[in-house]
Amino acid sequence: MAIPVLGETRPALCHRDGRVTATFVYKDVPFRDGLGVVNDVLVGACDVCGDAIIIPAQSTPKVSEARRSVD
Ligand SMILES: [Zn+2]
């Protein structure tokens, strides 16, 4: 899969809305368990509800780093 860039849109599946388009934006993404947040990470956000539904591979190091600072 090609590396997404800011503003790119892509078809995706949202856990709430089903088939949607997602737009890649920089967002603060809270962890599902509520323990901490990843600041300014590039994610694909659902165009309907705004949830981060795609975490691109290039963003995962930032996510694990933020996770470590919480533990
Ligand atoms: Zn959605």
Residue 32: domain span: 9-70
Predicted model pTM:
0.83
Does the residue 35 lie in any domain? yes
* Ligand 1 centre distance from Cα of residue 55 (Å): 14
Give me the number of domains the chain comprises. Answer: 1
* Ligand 1 centre distance from Cα of residue 10 (Å): 13
Helix (H/G/I), strand (E/B), else coil: 21:
strand
* Ligand 1 centre distance from Cα of residue 58 (Å): 22
From first to last of its 71 residues, the chain has per-residue pLDDT tens of 578 999 999 999 999 999 999 999 999 998 888 888 999 999 999 999 999 999 988 888 888 888 888 66
**Residues 28/40, Cβ–Cβ less than 8 Å:** yes
Does the residue 1 lie in any domain? no
* Nearest of 5, 9, 53 to residue 29 by alpha carbon: 53
Amino acid at 61: P
CATH number (domain holding residue 17) = 3.10.20
* Ligand 1 centre distance from Cα of residue 31 (Å): 17
CA pseudo-torsion sign 26, 4, 34, 13:
positive
Strand (E) or helix (H) holding 64: helix 60-70
